[in-house]
Structure 1
Amino acid sequence: MTQNKLQLNEGKTEALLIDPQNSPNLPLSITIGQNDICFSRSVRNLGVIFDDKLSMKQQVSKICQSAYLELRRISSIRHVLTVDATKTLVTSLVLSRLDYCNSLLSGIPQQLIDKLQKVQNCSARFIFKTSKCTHVSPLLAKLHWLSIAQRIDYKISSLCYDVVSDTAPL
């Protein structure tokens, strides 16, 4: 840090020790220079929340919370919006949250995928003003939306294709 003329800001610095097996003999902090930094249970980096087990539970909960908040905000003006305008708003404000860094969600438990899928299903029903008991598959097909699991696979496939075809940034 000294060589790069950087200074450690203790108030903003977080450290995460990843330990999926809960080992009992791990240190509680790390010393960097004169500063003692305690390990956090979770940290945020570029808007993604990582926990000490890399379970992504907190990240999925935060995504769902912010997506439902956006749906509630849109619902206050839904009565004056067309289906196309609503689709555009939901795509911009809700699906963008579901898609942001979703490649990091590859391999998470199905119950977390299901939570995200419920948000997407709710969004599709919201766009078409249908009830909760309406089957969502035709709505997703009409919107040309992939399921959450398919969106994650598509993102990873696209990234891999870019690397293999030499179109990815260096």
Structure 2
Amino acid sequence: MASHVDNICKRAYLNIRNIGQIRQCINAKTAASLVHACVLPHLDFCNGLLIGLPKYLLTKLLRVQNFAARLVTKSKKFDHITPILRNLHWLKCNERIQYKVMLIVFNARHNQKPTYISELLEEYVPGRSLRSSWQSLLSVPSVRTATFGGRSVAKVAPKVAP
């Protein structure tokens, strides 16, 4: 996954550099539109597979997002990034990944996605009556592989989705 993250960062930085070359000629709204069209799709592409990545790989993606946010707002390198992201209404990369997985689970639970995703999700049925039985929780299946099986939708969805 490290090479995949590196490729994402390369493509995104290339687009950020191109936008930066014309940044003086455009206003903030146009710059935000260009970043939404040219940079953020690279960060969002297959980001459901990026859940459970090590922190150093997520940090690479977060740096790309922070650089794009600073480009849009013309803020300095050492300005605090959280208010900038909040003003742009952007989620941080790890939150974007969790949001995407929650969206997939929601759509699968409400029959808006293909059946193969909803077949992966199993409802938790307790052996006895519990106070939490009205919440329609998901059960966590056992996974045989220790490397990538922990990042499957069936394994991650019960942990991420409320």
Alignment of 1:114 onto 2:59: yes
2:74 corresponds to: 129
Count of paired positions? 115
Q: What are the residue-to-residue correspondences of 1:5-84 with 2, within 5 Å?
A: 56-84=1-29
More strand by share: 1
Structure 2 unaligned residues grouped into runs of 5+: 116-162
- Which residue, 79, 83, 99 being the options, matches 2:44? 99
Give the whole-Å Cα distance in 2 for the aligned partners of 1:83 and 1:156: 30
Paired amino acid for 1:72: R
1:138 corresponds to: 83
Give the whole-Å Cα distance in 1 for the aligned partners of 2:90 and 2:73: 14
Cα RMSD over matched residues?
0.7
Give the match's secondary structure for 1:132: coil
Give the match's secondary structure for 1:107: coil
Give the whole-Å Cα distance in 1 for the aligned partners of 2:110 and 2:100: 15
Larger Rg: 1
Q: TM-score, normalised by structure 1?
A: 0.66
Identity over aligned pairs, percent: 39
Structure 1 unaligned residues grouped into runs of 5+: 1-55
Q: TM-score, normalised by structure 2?
A: 0.70
- 1:169, CA displacement in angstroms? 2.9
- 1:130, CA displacement in angstroms? 1.1
* Deviations, residues 89-138 of structure 1 (Å, cap 9, x unaligned): 00111111000110010111011001100000111111011111011100
Give the whole-Å Cα distance in 1 for the aligned partners of 2:103 and 2:83: 26
Alignment of 1:161 onto 2:106: yes
| Greater RCO structure (CA 8 Å; 6+ sep) | 2
1:10 corresponds to: none
* Deviations, residues 145-168 of structure 1 (Å, cap 9, x unaligned): 000000000000000111111111
